[in-house]
Amino acid sequence: MGKQLVITEKPSVARDIVASLGGFAEHEGFWERDDLVVTFAVGHLFEIKKPEDIDEKWSAWTLDALPMLPRSFPLQPKQGTRDRLRTIKSLLNREDVEGVVNACDAGREGELIFREITEYFENDKPMKRLWLQSMTKDAIKRGFDGLQPGKRYDGLSAAAHCRTYSDWLIGMNASRALTKRLKTRSESGSWSAGRVQTPTLAILVDRELDILAHVPRTFWRIKGSFSHGKEGYEGTWFDPSFRAADHPEYARDDRIFDEARARDILAKIQGRAGVASETLKPSIEQPPVLFDLTSLQRAANSRFGWSARRTLNAAQRCYEAHKVLTYPRTDSKALPNDYRPVVDELLDQLQQVKALAPFCQRLQEHGLLNEKKVFDDSKVSDHFAIIPTGTVASLSGDDARLFDLVSRRFLAVFHGPATWVRINRTTVVEGQRFRSTARSLQNAGWREVMGETEGEGKLTPLRPTALVEGDTAVDDEPVGAEGAELEEDQTKAPNRYSEARMLSLMETAGRYVEDEDAAEAMKDSGIGTPATRADIIENLIVKGYALRAGRALKASVKGIRLIDILRRMRADRLASPALTGELEHNLAEVEKGRLGGEAFMAEVYDYAEEIVDKTKNFEFEHLFPNTEPLGTCPSCDKQVYERSWFYRCEEPEGLETNQRKRKKMAEQGIPLIEDCAFRVWKDKSGRYVDERTVRELLVDGKSRPLDGFMTRQGRTFRGQLVLEDAEIELRRMEGGEEEDAVEVPEYEVDATPLGSCPQCEDGEVVETRQTFVCDRGLKVIRALEKDDAYALPIRPKQVPEGMEHCAFLLPRTVCKREITRPEALTYMKDGRTPLLEEFTSRKGRPFSAILFRKEDSGRHGFEFPPREGAGKKATKKKATKKKKTSAKKKTSAKTKTSTKKKTSAKTKTSTKKKIATKKKIATKKAASKTKAEAAKKTAVKKNASSDGYRQSD
């Protein structure tokens, strides 16, 4: 009987399968029993070759070489994967292996990881698919009992390939074309653009432009104080005749923009009694639906202030490591119809969690509500909603908070609605109306499970009523007037988008939709997928197109420039969330088999060609014509206009702006036309300078107070731009600082010490929510009130008297990668880890490295694997050097022979002396250089491994 080769996406999943099925013997890089061989990938093992490796003509970044439209996309192994690939290949080629099982994650990316392996090794053996919704033992056994034919997922595979190829075509072509047209000499990075990245940025840019365009207007509100019986209450004046459609966007029915009118109303009502009327209106709030990944990320952002990536990381740990949640990368908010019996089992198991037990018991006693809404096969895609698995584990930190949030939502959906009573009260004094509102919870229903039972405002009904049945009205109840006051305020710019709001907008391709059913219908046309949206946001930040301003997201100057240029050159599709949403919808159609992959790719090829054509052929003067003068230049009195990077006065006719050409003209004595030096750059200390600000500078000599300037350390501040002697000066002002958003995941804590400290040998290494640290050092860190995740090396003079200190500390998050407990134990024992993957650099690039312990500081450093091909390059250099030396010797010999024939005996002697002197100097230099190199090698060997890895701090 032949065997099936099972390939998982990660080593941890392979271990779970082996443990669940049992009977396996462990070998190097795989496990085996009579019928199965289990091995693993480590995420994506391949990548599409670089353009220059596909076609040599694409090696140069030139506009002439664009567009790049390969008809096939050859793969190459990713760095550091050759050993893993060697193992997989040898297992695939075994004669006793008759078929292959795809056990990678259930979804588009998991399918792609597996198919890339089988395609690269040209596998022709039958393929089956393991589709796991949960990582529990029972779920794994059920999955292997119901293996599906691999062909059933060909549509998913086609969509995955199309997504990868389209991202390559659009990203590579757009990025190269834009970089050639937009990059300045002072920039080191490229101008990247992409199918999903750029339209996401466009949403942020549009919001930022709305904020910059806002003109504050002063308005007044009137607040009245009233009394009824023993209760006092407040009301806000409003205009009952106000109609939103007849007024500007910033107008509201409680705002008065005429101060004289506001004071007249105030004088009219002071000290006068009034009458009040109110309605008590019940409202029913239905339970929410279950979480998919996007709605979970939104909820965690609103409740905890977490970024989308932080939520995803915690959910992934709860799924993989703790097995307490089902697969998190899902876009479904329902459960399959046959899952009803499983819910009964979950209620039994969740009762072990003390905080959840009362709600589980209630559901068991009174039954489940809303079953038709929760169990619905038509609303389940590749995966069902995120729910608990029934496994109960000891959790802490982020994992505990996330598990609690998901579990409460799971229980809440089976509870009844929450019933509110809203009090709307209108108080009339001398014909002027004042509004007071409050909302109280009459029946908590599902909100009790979520711990959300607070009302809004406090009002006691004017007349005591029984339980409200429909609207209850009270008219003309006399009330006393305690006084009134005028409040001055200014209209404010719209708020920047929080990450929760941004995820909603990405889900609906930039259109804000409050109704969940409507949003559900649009999700196939959203930007990205639930699994990728967090990375899209992080990628924008890493590439300098966006940044975090407290809990909100903000488009940077570079981001605003990119979208502005794209729209001016009419590359609308690349910057349009709606049009990009169409592509995402078409990918979903490919996945379902309703659209062929070739038809989808034909559109993408046309799309990529169109972007390149528009980028190559635009002229900056056409993008920024002299249509709207912003004011008069303070240097030359000409009109100032907008240009691509700055605002300046109109250029003199015949002006040559190219510096190289100007230099050549000067050398040739050609007269040069002098240019005015006045510029207002669009980027001023990290803040975008818009047209309105330039107008203020040119007319008033200064701008209004502006928020959003940034220090080199990343702190934002308020400032004012001042124009003096044709120079722009930034003056810092008080206020306006924004909260910095620092992402520090809080992991669960295992109280068991990891072992003796390798640094001091006296203390023990323990876990905190953010570090592995020596307990002797932890006492000092806490005594100094430092955050242990970011504690700087403690200097001896900082250590409190009588307290022992050790410097050993290993963060649990290094370069956005979690360091697991087993990896920390290896680090302590051997002074180094194995080669670890999935680190992320400051520039957002993934890399692999070994962590090693630095004996002097107790902290970690990096060792990097040697770059592939480095040895070949070195060999080539040596060969070239030998050729050059040989050529020099031949030339030298010829010269010497010629010299000997032509020179006298005296000249010969003199030449010999000079040569001898030069040889001595060269010998000394060589000896000195050899010593230095030997010392350097010795220093490296002390901490380096024997495999030649490069080291860095």
The closest of 302, 813, 307 to 548, measured between CA atoms, is 307
Contact in structure between 599 and 609 (CB atoms under 8 Å): no
Contact in structure between 205 and 560 (CB atoms under 8 Å): yes
Residue owning tokens 């070739």: 598
H/E stretch holding 587 reads: helix 577-591
Tokens representing 580 are 């990009």
Contacts of 874 (CB under 8 A, 6+ apart): none
H/E stretch holding 552 reads: strand 552-555
R_g (Cα) of the chain, nearest Å: 35
Contacts of 625 (CB under 8 A, 6+ apart): none
Contacts of 142 (CB under 8 A, 6+ apart): none
- The tally of CA atoms less than 13 A away on the side-chain side of residue 493 is 16
Q: Name 282's bridge partners.
A: 421
- Cα(324)–Cα(361) distance, rounded to whole angstroms? 20
Q: Is 276 helix (H, G, I), strand (E, B) or coil?
A: strand
Residue owning tokens 């939103």: 244
CB atoms under 10 Å from CB of 174, counted, come to 27
Tokens representing 281 are 């209106």
- Residue 339 known to be catalytic: no
Contacts of 951 (CB under 8 A, 6+ apart): 852, 861, 862, 863, 864, 940, 943, 944
- Cα(132)–Cα(389) distance, rounded to whole angstroms? 12
End-to-end CA distance of the chain: 53
SS (H, E, C) 329-380: CCCCCCECHHHHHHHHHHHHHHCCCCCCHHHHHHHHHHCCCCHHHHECHHHC
Contacts of 931 (CB under 8 A, 6+ apart): none
H/E stretch holding 605 reads: helix 597-617
Q: Name 818's bridge partners.
A: 813
Per the residue annotation, which of 153, 165, 233, 327 is the catalytic one? 327
- Cα(143)–Cα(101) distance, rounded to whole angstroms? 11
- Cα(803)–Cα(272) distance, rounded to whole angstroms? 70
Q: Which amino acid is at 801?
A: E
Angle 736-739-743 from CA coordinates, rounded to 5°: 160
Q: Is 554 helix (H, G, I), strand (E, B) or coil?
A: strand
- Cα(183)–Cα(200) distance, rounded to whole angstroms? 21
The closest of 533, 556, 714 to 189, measured between CA atoms, is 556
- Cα(763)–Cα(773) distance, rounded to whole angstroms? 10
Tokens representing 770 are 């953010």
- Cα(708)–Cα(738) distance, rounded to whole angstroms? 8
The rounded Cα 75 to chain-centroid distance in angstroms is 27
H/E stretch holding 902 reads: helix 870-902
Is the CA virtual torsion 777, 781, 782, 784 positive or negative?
Answer: positive
Q: Is 647 helix (H, G, I), strand (E, B) or coil?
A: strand
Backbone angles phi, psi at 722, to 5 degrees: -125, 135
- Cα(445)–Cα(359) distance, rounded to whole angstroms? 11
- Cα(10)–Cα(110) distance, rounded to whole angstroms? 10
Catalytic residues: 327
